[in-house]
Amino acid sequence: MRTRCIAACCAVLACLLTQLSQAQSVGTLTDPREIHLRNVRQLTFGGQNAEAYFSHDGNKIIFQSTRPPYGCDQIFIMNSDGSDVTRVSSGEGRTTCAFFLPDGKRFIYASTHLADSACPPEPDRSRGYVWPLYPSFDIFSAGTDGTDRVRLTAVEGYDAEGAVSPDGQRIVFTSVRDGDLELYTMDVDGSDVKRLTRREGFDGGPFFSWDGRYIVYRSHYPDTAEERDDYRSLLSQDLMRPSRAEIFYMKEDGSDQTRVTSDGSANWAPFMHPDSRRIIYSSNKHDPEGRTFSLYMINRDGSGDRRITFGARFDAFPMFSRDGRRLVWCSTRNARGPREFNVFVADWMDQ
């Protein structure tokens, strides 16, 4: 729910949406309370479409989608008006977490296709609602025509949730290579891997700020013996429980790790506004049952938290265009089925 998930993957989203009892009914694309959004446009129609992110020039959007004939997510690119949708992943395995390089000629993504051309199995939920951490996920880069695929990670365990720095030099990503869900950076060719986080718990869904100075992400650190035992047991089975998470940011070198939210909700999918002072993210804090998610915006110092979207049962994966004038996100608004979610774009209005 990708995430950028643990950020967070469309597999994650599909799991999350099975909890939702109904989709928003077909109707208008906006709610009168959504004062920051103008000219909302729906770009995809049908299927499960998620983790949609702008190219640096704002002319293209890359996203993952489960749609016929594919049984799980593949990566697609389309124009920012929704036209010319083209699959750019291989069509094998499950893919997630795609992001453009600044030149618009290449992108990165995670895929399980080297382990199996089929979709990986759904997770065992005998112990409650959990997210899968498929150990067959590795990070790749490829040309935007789908050719020249290059493997960037080749260690045992989950590697996914990647995003590229604005200067195109580094990739930030999530990995279990050291036995815990931590954040790392590496050069765009996969070399010079550096670990950024070191506290037990799940760190994931990282993005660079548009000025490259910060990395925003979401984390949860178990604070009781019972939570730690549950976390470790699930992690040993390549699973994690996403019921709680908070928003954090740090400097791009991993220093000054700072907690932004502290409400005990499931706060995730953060992205910094181009002013590097505000963070937009998804949360269920408004829902006592925790089943619906809306977008919120908060100042980097934790002040000024306010709700941005209303009405839809699921709004997540927000990203601002580089100039801050547009917002892309994924939502169940206008859905015609309980597991349909689509990509939307709106003009952003500061109030």
Q: Are the beta carbons of 306 and 296 closer than 8 angstroms? A: yes
Residue of 158, 160, 153, 260 lying closest to 214 (CA atoms): 260
Domain boundaries, given as residue ranges, for the chain? 10-348
- Tokens representing 307? 């709700």
pLDDT grade for 13, boundaries at 50, 70 and 90: very low
Over the stretch 296-336, which tens digit does the pLDDT of each residue have? 999 999 999 999 999 899 999 999 999 999 999 999 999 99
**Tell me, what's the pLDDT at 187?**
98
Over the stretch 217-254, which tens digit does the pLDDT of each residue have? 999 999 999 999 999 999 999 999 999 999 999 999 99
Give φ, ψ of 259 to 5 degrees.
-85, 135
The 10 Å Cβ neighbour count of residue 126 is 6
pTM for the whole structure? 0.91
Residue indicated by tokens 């619906």: 292
Q: Which residues contact 275 (CB under 8 A, 6 or more apart)?
A: 324
Helix, strand, or coil (residue 235): helix
Over the stretch 93-145, which tens digit does the pLDDT of each residue have? 999 999 999 999 999 999 999 999 999 999 888 878 899 999 999 999 999 99
**CATH class of domain segment(s) 10-348:** mainly beta
